[in-house]
Amino acid sequence: MLLDDLRNLRKTVASESILFSYRGEITQELMVYFLRIVDKKLIGSKESPLIRRRILNIMIESLQNAVKHARDWYNESEIEPENEAIFLLSRRDDKYLLINGNAVKNDVKPFIERKIENINSLSSDKQRKLFRNIIKYGVYGSKGGAGLGFVDMARKSGDLINFDFEEIDEKYSYFTYLITLDRNSIPEPDLTPKPNTVSTV
């Protein structure tokens, strides 16, 4: 998946491959509802428990990020339809694609870029060590996170995080990212202790 394609994903993904999609404000209550819907669909398709857990865990991290960043956007701005938050889960052959898009403040854009680029540059072992260090030493940085959510998504998927920013105005940009989970190359389960709460960037 090319980065240039990300800007058009929310408009061009084939409907027959979509398992779940949503456009609009994402709240904690809706997040719980989305997870229930997706879990039922995965159970109905007889997906393995391991794949189901991976998808739901990535969804939690992704949606939690959207909830966190959406608060400022929806409180401060008049939302154009094309700039509303999106979440989309589709299946293409043996790969699940999780696509998330939401507005973020321009002042956090460099922070997000640096974190994802760093995560993408690490081996799976180094990602695991980074995850443990963040848990051990605490979170920091803009929006109360240290990139823990993105580290966990990369670890769960075993693939790179593809992402893109498109400027909306002088204060906000639209942040889109894609997580790919290949059913045939799922990373081994990791027994690293989990934090009590989901962290966001």
Q: What distance separates the 2 farthest-apart alpha carbons in the chain?
A: 47
**145 domain-assigned:** yes
The pLDDT confidence band at residue 198, using thresholds 50, 70 and 90, is very low
180 and 46 in contact (C-beta within 8 Å)? Answer: no
- By CB neighbour count within 10 A (0-12 exposed, 13-18 middle, 19+ buried), where does 32 fall? exposed
4: pLDDT strictly greater than 50: yes
**136: domain CATH number?**
3.30.565.10
Closest listed residue to residue 115, CA positions, set 153, 82, 87, 84 = 153
| CA 110 remoteness from chain centre | 17
Give the structural domain span for 165: 7-182
pLDDT tens per residue across span 167-180: 988 888 999 999 99
Q: Which residue has the higher pLDDT, 201 or 183?
A: 183
Number of independent structural domains in the chain: 1
**189 domain-assigned:** no
